[in-house]
Amino acid sequence: MKAVAPVTLADCREVDTKGSEFIILKDLCKSFNGRTVLDNIRCSIPKGQFVVLLGPSGGGKSTLFRCLTRLIEPDSGSITVDGTDVTSLSPRNLNLFRRKIGFVFQQFNLVKRFNAIDNVLAARLSYNSLARVILRCFKQKDRQLALACLDSVGLLEQAYQRAEELSGGQQQRVAIARAFAQQGDLILADEPISSLDPQSSENVLQILQRAARDRGLSVLCSLHQVDLAVRYADSIVALKDGRVLFNGRSQDFTLEIREELYRASQA
Ligand SMILES: Nc1ncnc2c1ncn2[C@@H]1O[C@H](COP(=O)(O)OP(=O)(O)O)[C@@H](O)[C@H]1O
Ligand SMILES: [Mg+2]
């Protein structure tokens, strides 16, 4: 069987714009049916940090995530991730780019009747032949990786339990283990704690914070809870009415900015 070399973001790089920032958004615009949702978004996200994208519901957080991975096409502006100009990637390179991003969703997106380890192994599908996928016969090293990822979120003992038998917090941790198994540089977590109880929410945020601190991953996580954002994030990007209200270190996120963020819009 032909060995597949690991893909790095550098492999699908078409424009080289080196810098200390991992994600750079310039003048990003997106409208739906004439209504502006992202209005000239300009912000940068440093490498290896836990960054929270903060804003009220309907503020454009999920739209920004979708533009970032080109699940929807922005109307204008540029997106650079680790030197890759995402807006100009060819379809093939866009697939390679997405393959290296770990996604974590509000509703976990696990296969409920699969056990935890098989859900984590789903992250390795694109690195295995069709026959291996159909037979669910993954390489030993992929299994070891999946177990190590489950261990890192405290779920080694639950590796062979079906996802549907796990609590919501445990299911979200399986989803994070799956994102780790992508072995990329970037994790995008869209409202990962919205359906969790307070204790499970704290567990998930601690794991994402450690992913940046210990693994050097860049983690972009959307939340609408200011207190949690300030407590856990290294930096914050706050969106209001489709614009960037704040982009900086969480300790610089002042009470005034917090009040402004949740003050009713004049529009
Ligand atoms: N595909 C779409 N078509 C039309 N409107 C959309 C679409 N996606 C999002 N919107 C609208 O864009 C706004 C921002 O939505 P969203 O990005 O989901 O916000 P958030 O994730 O911050 O809650 C909302 O008003 C939503 O209704
Ligand atoms: Mg959303």
Please, what are the domains in the chain?
8-100+184-262 (3.40.50.300), 108-183 (no CATH)
The structure's pTM equals 0.89
Q: In whole angstroms, what separates CA 88 from the centre of its chain?
A: 21
Average pLDDT, whole number, for the chain? 89
* Percentage of residues in the chain having pLDDT higher than 90: 79
CB under 8 Å to 79, separation ≥6 — which residues? 23, 24, 25, 26, 28, 67, 68, 85, 86, 87
Pocket of ligand 1 (CB under 6 A): 32, 37, 55, 57-63
What's the pLDDT tens digit per position in 33-52? 999 999 999 999 999 999 99
Is residue 47 within a helix (H) or strand (E), and if so which, with residue range?
none
pLDDT digits (tens, 9 = 90+) for 222-265: 999 999 999 999 999 999 999 999 999 999 999 999 999 988 76
CA–CA dist 255, 261 (Å, integer): 10
Q: Which atom of ligand 1 is nearest to the CA of 56?
A: 22
Decide: helix, strand or coil at residue 85: strand
pLDDT of 156 over the 90 cut: yes
The residues, ordered by sequence, that sit 6+ positions from 97 with a Cβ below 8 Å of its Cβ are 9, 12, 69, 81, 84, 86, 89
Best of 29, 30, 31, 37 for a ligand 1 pocket test (most atoms within 8 Å of beta carbon)? 37
84 class by beta-carbon count within 10 Å (0-12 exposed, 13-18 middle, 19+ buried) = buried
pLDDT value of residue 10: 42
Nearest residue (CA) to ligand 1, atom 16:
60
Cβ neighbour number for residue 45 with a 10 Å cutoff: 22
Contacts of 190 (CB under 8 A, 6+ apart): 61, 62, 65, 103, 104, 105, 106, 221, 222
Taking the CA of residue 60 as reference, the ligand 1 atom at the shortest distance is 17
The pLDDT tens digits of the residues spanning 61-107 come to 999 999 999 999 999 999 999 999 999 999 999 999 998 899 999 99
The pair phi, psi for residue 13, each rounded to 5°, is: -80, 125
